[in-house]
Amino acid sequence: MSRFELSTAALAQIKDISAYIAEDNPVRAISFIDELLAACRLRADMPRSGQLRPELDGNPRSFPFGPYVVLYDVLNDDGGILVLAIIHARQDILREFHRP
């Protein structure tokens, strides 16, 4: 299994997402974050399968997860990703995404 890393920004966004969900359903907050991290682990095994995002600085890749878009960089050809950001799909990704 390939590894994945979280940028400082992505870690902060995960905490914010968890806190938001926990306001209504603390149990779901935990399970949602577990599912999100599992999706990142799976993507690390197929890092080039995400959609290229040439409109964003550095051409990261992305994949959808629920109402969010996960932006990441490929760490190496053998697998592995660096999660850069997790942005709600309703947000303006061009405006919200800032390289760490």
Percent over 70 (pLDDT), the chain = 95
Query: What is the Cα–Cα distance from 16 to 32, expressed in whole angstroms?
Result: 12
C-alpha to C-alpha distance for 9 and 19, rounded to whole angstroms: 15
Task: Give the sheet arrangement for strand 61-65, strand by strand.
Answer: 4-6, 81-88, 68-74, 61-65, 51-52
What's the pLDDT tens digit per position in 63-97? 999 999 999 999 976 779 999 999 999 998 888 88
Rounded to 5 degrees, φ, ψ at 95 are -80, -35
User: What tokens appear for 3 in the block?
Assistant: 């590894």
Helix (H, G, I), strand (E, B) or coil at 17: helix
Report DSSP state, residue 59: -
Query: How is the chain split into domains, by residue range?
Result: 4-88
**Predicted structure pTM score:** 0.92
* Domain spanning 4-88: CATH superfamily: RelE-like (3.30.2310.20)
Whole-angstrom distance, CA of residue 63 vs CA of residue 71: 7
